[in-house]
Amino acid sequence: MAGDGDKTLAKAAGIPEAVFVEDVDSFMQKPQNESAEVVLKRLEEQHQKYKFMEMNLLQKKRRLRGQIPDIRTTLDIVKHLQSKQGSEDELKTQFLLSDQVYAKASILPTKKVCLWLGANVMLEYELSDAEALLSKNLKAATESQTQVDLDLDFLRDQYTTTEVNMARVYNFDVKRRQAAGKLSS
């Protein structure tokens, strides 16, 4: 059991764990739970936080889904340039200028390549250094995507637990009101 908790905390990456309300009666007796409305409001706020975290994680997942194929393609190109390094033949290719607009290019055998690093920064690398950097970036992006998937699974469990807690507190309040109505009759 202790090992499972460690895995959950490792997966959670800053996502607070929602505690399942087993006994609603004793839960509602706690001093901070003065009324069902207050508890429902607090649970709704927690639910909204989980939804916001989910939105951010989904955005990160979409970004990584686009980034990983680009890194793989660039890595393949660098490996291809390495394989042509001893050759005298030009490499003929087409490259994308903008949507549906390509230009033809002839690339002489080279020992260096320029890589976009982001934020309008481009640096020149030796082919072996470029391959190492791209391999490292691909590994990091793949690991990040795996972690995002784990975080999303954990997050879904948390907001499902919160939704169940909200339903249980609401049902408790309905029963309490019905019982109060029968007593006053």
Show me where the domains of the chain are located.
36-85+112-177
Express each pLDDT in 72-116 by its tens digit.
999 999 999 999 888 888 889 998 889 899 999 998 888 999 998
| 8 Å CB contact between 136 and 130 | no
Full-model pTM: 0.77
Kindly state the tokens that stand for 121. 């920064």
- Which residue type, as a one-letter code, is found at position 170? Y
Handedness of CA 8, 9, 10, 14 (dihedral sign): positive
pLDDT attached to residue 31: 87
Q: Which architecture characterizes domain 36-85+112-177 according to CATH?
A: Orthogonal Bundle (1.10)
